[in-house]
Structure 1
Amino acid sequence: MARLILLNKPHGVLCQFSADGSDKPTLAQYVPVPGVYPAGRLDTDSEGLLLLTDDGRLQARIAVPRFKLPKTYLVQVEGEPDAAALAALRGGVRLKDGMTRPAEAELIPAPELWSRDPPVRFRKTVPDSWLKLTLREGKNRQVRRMTAAVGHPTLRLVRWQIGDWALDGLAPGEWREITAN
């Protein structure tokens, strides 16, 4: 039976088990389970749901874009996106490496999340808002590049859900093992 671990990856943690000369914390400090590997990645600056498994086929089904597994992010952005910015995200955004697939995008009230260390910078003169974005592809730093392309740089990025697996109930650094189907 395949092992599947849901981890709430904290901000600042490398998405690998070895530091390779870096002084940043790695997954090894949070998941002391041998033989599991991340199914996909999260940037060091990003936080939230990371799936780890010991099954190569399951890892591919989760991480490989051709399977189009939806990934949902809660994104704090600079400014207040208008209808045109949301429409652009929903229609696909032109990036340097090509068009993105259409995303589900909506403005949401600020979610109740854990505080981040270090905290997101606050500027009195620049408002911020939150988006819920669901993607079905995985270009490098895609959410950050998409929001910047529509004029609203990302301040905080939390992956909340991958397919049917969600972060519910996991604090940063916590993990739980579930049965993989």
Structure 2
Amino acid sequence: MKLILLNKPYNVMCQFSDHPSRPTLADYVKIPGVYPAGRLDADSEGLVLLTDDGQLQHSISHPDHKQAKTYLVQVEGKPTAQQLKLLSQPIDLGDFVTKTCIVKHINAPEWLWLRDPPIRQRADIPTSWLCIILSEGKNRQVRRMTAAAGLPTLRLIRSAIGNFSLESHPLLPGEWMEVQMQQK
């Protein structure tokens, strides 16, 4: 059984099949038979776990298993205590209501890489960093949550899935490593 940690770069499709205009995971990982356990949008960066084991893929990606996923989010503006509280509570996003989560205002991590291309900067609007830890992961959920709180997302990085993190397994965008699973 293989388990691979990949730091997915910005603008890369989270798939191995060809895409007409963007790079895919196949441009970075040349190991046959592995597939992503969960996805990240092309405009999101960070940790993706790849495996060749269907049961492991299911246990990582399925919401019933409640694998904590940690996101570092650069937002437009400075969050108020009220906005942070709103983000941590269930938010009705129209097609679903989010579960409670952990939200913290943080400093940009020192280990974080520069994004290529850089985010847009506005001289008169400051940016801030949030750490959001979810036990679910619906389509564009973090971006929709921050927008609902009045804090548009500028940059979104998944930094951890369960016990695997880019802080403890430092990988630059496009780099990957195989890790050993603990046998139960």
- State TM-score, norm by structure 1: 0.97
CA–CA separation in structure 2 for the residues paired with 1:37 and 1:144: 25
Q: Which residue in the other structure is 2:181 paired with?
A: 180
Q: Following superposition of structure 1 onto structure 2, how do residues 126-141 of structure 1 map, counting pairs within 5 Å?
A: 126-141=125-140
Could you tell me which amino acid in structure 2 is paired with residue 34 of structure 1?
Answer: P
CA–CA separation in structure 2 for the residues paired with 1:96 and 1:81: 23
Q: Which runs of 5+ in 1 are unaligned?
A: none
Corresponding residue to 1:44 among 42, 54, 70: 42
Q: Which residue in the other structure is 2:161 paired with?
A: 162
CA–CA separation in structure 1 for the residues paired with 2:57 and 2:129: 30
The answer to whether the aligner puts 1:68 opposite 2:66 as a matched pair is yes
CA–CA separation in structure 1 for the residues paired with 2:102 and 2:109: 17
SS of equivalent to 2:145: helix
SS of equivalent to 1:85: helix
CA–CA separation in structure 2 for the residues paired with 1:107 and 1:58: 32
Q: Which residue in the other structure is 1:171 paired with?
A: 172
Could you tell me which amino acid in structure 1 is paired with residue 81 of structure 2?
Answer: A
Q: Which residue in the other structure is 2:113 paired with?
A: 114
CA–CA separation in structure 1 for the residues paired with 2:30 and 2:94: 39
CA–CA separation in structure 2 for the residues paired with 1:98 and 1:4: 31
Q: Which residue in the other structure is 2:76 paired with?
A: 78
Could you tell me which amino acid in structure 2 is paired with residue 43 of structure 1?
Answer: D
Q: Which residue in the other structure is 2:89 paired with?
A: 91
Q: Percent identity?
A: 59
Q: Which residue in the other structure is 2:102 paired with?
A: 104
The answer to whether the aligner puts 1:143 opposite 2:142 as a matched pair is yes
Deviation at 1:45, TM superposition (A): 0.1
The structure 1 segments of at least 4 consecutive aligned residues displaced by more than 6 Å after TM superposition are none
The answer to whether the aligner puts 1:9 opposite 2:8 as a matched pair is yes
Deviation at 1:98, TM superposition (A): 2.2
Could you tell me which amino acid in structure 1 is paired with residue 175 of structure 2?
Answer: E
Deviation at 1:115, TM superposition (A): 1.0
Deviation at 1:162, TM superposition (A): 0.2
Q: Which runs of 5+ in 2 are unaligned?
A: none
SS of equivalent to 1:58: helix
Deviation at 1:173, TM superposition (A): 0.4
SS of equivalent to 1:147: helix
The answer to whether the aligner puts 1:58 opposite 2:59 as a matched pair is no
Could you tell me which amino acid in structure 2 is paired with residue 73 of structure 1?
Answer: Y
Deviation at 1:94, TM superposition (A): 1.2
Could you tell me which amino acid in structure 2 is paired with residue 53 of structure 1?
Answer: T
Query: How many matched pairs?
Result: 179
